[in-house]
């Protein structure tokens, strides 16, 4: 009454109106579109070829996503992971990408295969999808569009170690057998470049994808007196190793990052032992975090991955992305596209402590901070660091 007399306002009505306004504002603010779910896809070789680059990373990505969902705060979005098999073929990569887009409406795609990465990169940009290659990082991939990120070792750095080792051992004539895909071609080229620079004779022979008989090439190399054999390819080169030894070739063998594929050993019938290759183990990265992850992996899947670097890199790549994704509701403007926002966030990552070491991402979307070392194939499934 007094209030009404003084202010000429009906207090009850005013309070009711204010309550109504408050409720409306609350509803409006609740209606503001917080991102609740982010769908991530992974395309990798789960069958047929290079499965060490597909199964291990897929498992690692699952662990990272499960850990994120388990520990996330209520306001952070839920992440779903959908996995598809490309059998290490770029054509399959395109098909599976389309499928993931169509059926799961993915916002981010991880892919192991470099050619597959190239094949879908423009489509990903068009769709507003962020593309991450968690295994390879090379100059060719860095030429792709701004939605493509490479959170992995540098292919050139890793494979140039082979050339340096050849120089170090004083070898004079190097035969390089090259599997016809982008990754192995870049490996061969970077190796050749360094050998050329140091005046060491070398020859790259690109073989057929499905080839299992290399006798012709090997006989030719033996005849020409090559004293070092570099196998930049996958498990079928196990046959080449076996055939080389059968032909009496005693020269040292060198290989790429994929030697630990069990099929490689089987195909070589043990002749792979003694081959030097570039590889990555927990000792090359953050020993504590890497072992912690490998223990979790073993606990989850019953065994450790036979090749540790692909899951380690994939785990770091996913965690790095999730580290940004979880901030979406705080950092993304409503008028910003998802890929625009995540691209900016990822380009600003200057220090991420992962299992592979401290990682930063450059403006070209390529990571820095993962460095491979030289290892010797000691016995089946086991490598030992080369003491130099």
Partner 1 sequence: MTKIGTKLLFGFGMFICILIIHTVLGNLTTKQATKSHNSLTRKIAPAVKILNEFRMENKELFLLVENKVYNYKNTKASNRVQQIIEVDLPYYILNLEKLKGSIETSDPRNSSIDSVIKYSNKSIGLIKKVNSLLVTPKDYEDTAKMGMITNMQNNQLSVFSSEIDNRLSFLQIEYNKELENNFSELSKTLKNNSQFFLWTSILFICFGLIITYKNTLAIVKPIKLLLNNIKDIESGNYENRVAVKGIDELSMLGNAFNKMSDSLQASFDQIKSKNKELEQFVYIASHDLQEPLRTITSFTELFVKGYSSKLDEHAITYIKFISQASTRMSLLVRGLLDYSCIGGNKELTLVNCNDLFKDLKTDLSHLILDTNAKIDVENLPEIRAYKTEIRLLFQNIVNNAIKFRRPNISPIIKVKVKEHSNFWKFMISDNGIGIKENKIDTIFKMFHRLNDQSDFEGTGIGLAHCSKVIELHKGTISVDSKLNQGSTFTITISKNLRQTT
Q: Which residues bind partner 1 (CB under 8 A)?
A: 1-2, 157, 164, 167-168, 194, 198, 284, 350-351, 357-360, 368-369, 371-373, 388
Residue given tokens 């990505």 in the structure block:
61
The nearest distance, CB 257 to partner 1, in angstroms, is: 15
- Dist CA 152 CA 40 (whole Å): 18
Q: Is the Cβ of residue 261 or residue 316 nearer to partner 1 in the bound state?
A: 316
Q: Least distance to partner 1 from the beta carbon of 348, Å?
A: 10
In the complex with partner 1, the residue whose CB is nearer, 100 or 370, is: 370
Query: Cα separation of 98 and 367, whole Å?
Result: 27
Nearer to partner 1, 171 or 342 (CB): 171
Distance in Å, CB of 360 to partner 1, minimum: 5
CB closer to partner 1, 360 vs 382: 360
8 A C-beta contact, residue 274 and residue 376: yes
Question: CB-wise, 1 or 28, nearer to partner 1?
Answer: 1
Choice between 170 and 302, CB closer to partner 1: 170
Number of DSSP helices (H) and strands (E) in the chain, helices first: 15, 17
Task: Choose between 80 and 373: whose C-beta lies nearer to partner 1.
Answer: 373
Instruction: Please check whether residue 351 is in contact with residue 345, taking contact to mean a CB–CB distance below 8 angstroms.
Output: no
For the CB of residue 346, give the shortest distance to partner 1 in the complex, in Å: 15
Task: Identify which of residues 164 and 251 has a Cβ nearer to partner 1 in the complex.
Answer: 164
Kindly state the smallest distance separating residue 364's Cβ from partner 1, in Å. 14
The minimum distance between CB 157 and partner 1, in angstroms, equals: 8
Distance CA 65, CA 149 (A): 19
Minimal distance, residue 73 CB to partner 1, in Å: 20
**Least distance (Å) from partner 1 to the CB of residue 284?**
6
Distances (CA, A) of 275 to 86, 241, 253, 261, 278: 29, 10, 5, 14, 10
- DSSP alpha helices (H): ranges in 79-212? 90-104, 114-127, 139-142, 155-168, 182-197
Q: Which residue carries 């460095």 as its tokens?
A: 371
Burial 170-180 (b: 16+ CB within 10 A, else e): ebebbbbbbbe
**Distance of closest approach, residue 373 Cβ to partner 1, in angstroms:** 6
| Contact (CB, 8 A) for 64 and 40 | no
264 close to 237: Cβ distance less than 8 angstroms = yes
Measured CA to CA, the distance from residue 166 to residue 230 in angstroms comes to 10
Structure tokens at 141: 């991939």
Q: What are the φ and ψ backbone dihedral angles of 84, each rounded to 5 degrees?
A: -135, 150
Contact 272, 231 (CB under 8 A): no
* Nearest to partner 1 of 103, 168 (CB atom): 168
């Amino acid at each position: 009454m007094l209030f009404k007399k003084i202010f000429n306002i009906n207090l009850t009505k005013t309070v009711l109106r204010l309550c109504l306004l408050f409720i409306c504002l609350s509803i409006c603010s609740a209606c503001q579109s917080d991102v609740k779910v982010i769908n991530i896809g992974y395309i990798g070789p789960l069958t047929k070829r290079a499965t060490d680059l597909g199964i291990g990373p897929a498992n690692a990505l699952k662990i990272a996503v499960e850990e994120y969902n388990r520990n996330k705060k209520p306001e952070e979005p839920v992440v779903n992971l959908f996995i598809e098999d490309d059998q290490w073929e770029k054509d399959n990569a395109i098909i599976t990408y389309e499928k993931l887009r169509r059926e799961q409406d993915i916002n981010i795609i991880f892919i192991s295969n470099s050619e597959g990465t190239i094949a879908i990169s423009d489509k990903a940009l068009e769709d507003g999808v962020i593309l991450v290659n968690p295994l390879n990082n090379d100059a060719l991939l860095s030429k792709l569009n701004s939605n493509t990120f490479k959170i992995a070792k540098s292919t050139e750095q890793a494979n140039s170690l082979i050339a340096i080792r050849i120089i170090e051992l004083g070898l004079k004539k190097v035969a390089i057998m090259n599997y016809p895909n982008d990754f192995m071609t870049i490996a061969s080229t970077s190796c050749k470049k360094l050998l050329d620079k140091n005046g060491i004779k070398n020859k790259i022979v690109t073989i057929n994808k499905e080839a299992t008989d290399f006798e012709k090439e090997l006989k030719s190399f033996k005849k020409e007196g090559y004293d070092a054999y570099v196998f930049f390819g996958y498990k079928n080169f196990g046959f080449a190793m076996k055939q080389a030894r059968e032909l009496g070739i005693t020269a040292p063998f060198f290989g790429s990052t994929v030697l630990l594929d069990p099929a490689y050993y089987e195909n070589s019938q043990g002749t792979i032992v003694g081959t030097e290759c570039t590889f990555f183990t927990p000792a090359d990265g953050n020993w504590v975090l890497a072992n912690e992850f490998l223990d979790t992996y073993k606990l989850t899947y019953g065994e450790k991955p036979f090749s540790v670097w692909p899951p380690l890199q994939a785990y770091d790549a996913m965690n790095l992305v999730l580290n940004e994704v979880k901030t979406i509701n705080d950092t993304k403007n409503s008028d910003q596209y998802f890929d625009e926002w995540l691209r900016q966030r990822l380009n600003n990552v200057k220090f991420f402590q992962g299992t592979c070491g401290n990682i930063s991402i450059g403006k070209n979307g390529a990571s820095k901070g993962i460095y491979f070392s030289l290892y010797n194939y000691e016995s089946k499934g086991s490598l030992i660091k080369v003491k130099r």
